[in-house]
Amino acid sequence: VTNEALNVMISGAPASGKGTQCELIANKYGLVHIAAGDLLRAEIATGSQNGKLAKQYMEKGQLVPDEIVVMMVRDRLLKPDSKENGWLLDGYPRSLSQATALKGFGFEPHTFLLLEVDEDVLVERVVGRRLDPVTGKIYHLKYFPPETEEIAARLTQRFDDTEEKVKLRLSTHHQNVESVLSLYKDITVKINGNVSKEEVFAQIDSVLTSLAEQRKAASGSV
């Protein structure tokens, strides 16, 4: 029997809304959200040697070396929940070598979602972003302000969320995006990410709903 679980990749410039949309997608479709950036920040928090090294690259807005990132993502994909429920890979692959490595391990996405957002919008989103360390929720001072004073008081900002650093992160993104896209062009769906969170999700939702139906029909016929 074909496994009906969906395997989804989501890509886009820094602050294009990947994390925000992944929260909505994971809620509705039950996919396991695997974010390369979150895995790296968790590694930094442990104080390990790999974490220290990763942070040096992240502070410069550069890609962390494959030796660290590839195995981290692979190990998470190999956990049983990813296989059973399907996965939603966010911020990986970011280079051709990362994409090739993943293919080599036998992980293939059914769809590749690309969030397209204008550059001036990206900068505003980065500078206003805040995170709740307790719930992990993503806020924005202007667009999604915290619900209570208590939450407002504990919000934190990412160390790479300054205007200067986002420029570096953007240039890294531009250097790599085409080569990754070339590998997934047959399954790439471009999503207009400039609109509201709900409108962005409506586009993604319709792509995933029809994909899920197709997979269900295909698995029923064997």
Least distance between ligand AP5 and beta carbon 45 (Å):
14
Residue of 6, 31, 32, 69 that binds ligand AP5 (CB under 6 A): 69
Residue 116, beta-bridge partner list = 192
70's CB contacts (< 8 A; 6+ apart) are 98, 101, 102
Q: Footprint of ligand AP5 on residues 171-210 (CB under 6 A)?
A: 196-197, 200
Under the binding rule (CB under 6 A), the answer on residue 77 touching ligand AP5 is no
What is the separation, in whole angstroms, between the first and last Cα of the chain? 7
Helices (H) and strands (E) in the chain, counts: 10, 7
Interface segment toward ligand AP5; rule CB under 6 A; list 1-9, 42-50, 99-107, 133-141: 133-141
Residue closer to ligand AP5 by CB (options 79, 216) is 79
Under the binding rule (CB under 6 A), the answer on residue 143 touching ligand AP5 is yes
Interface segment toward ligand AP5; rule CB under 6 A; list 43-51, 62-70, 184-192, 214-222: 62-70
Cβ atoms of residues 115 and 35 within 8 Å: no
Q: Which of 22, 40, 36, 7 is nearest to 201 (CA)?
A: 22
Which single residue brings its beta carbon nearest to ligand AP5?
37
Distance of alpha carbon 9 from alpha carbon 30, whole angstroms: 15
Active-site residue (options: 158, 167, 197, 215): 158
CA distances from 86 to 7, 77, 99, 182 (A): 5, 9, 18, 24
Under the binding rule (CB under 6 A), the answer on residue 50 touching ligand AP5 is no
Binding site for ligand AP5 (CB under 6 A): 12, 14-20, 36-37, 40, 57-58, 61-64, 69, 91-92, 94, 98, 125, 128-129, 138-140, 143-144, 169, 196-197, 200
Catalytically active residues are: 18, 94, 129, 158, 169
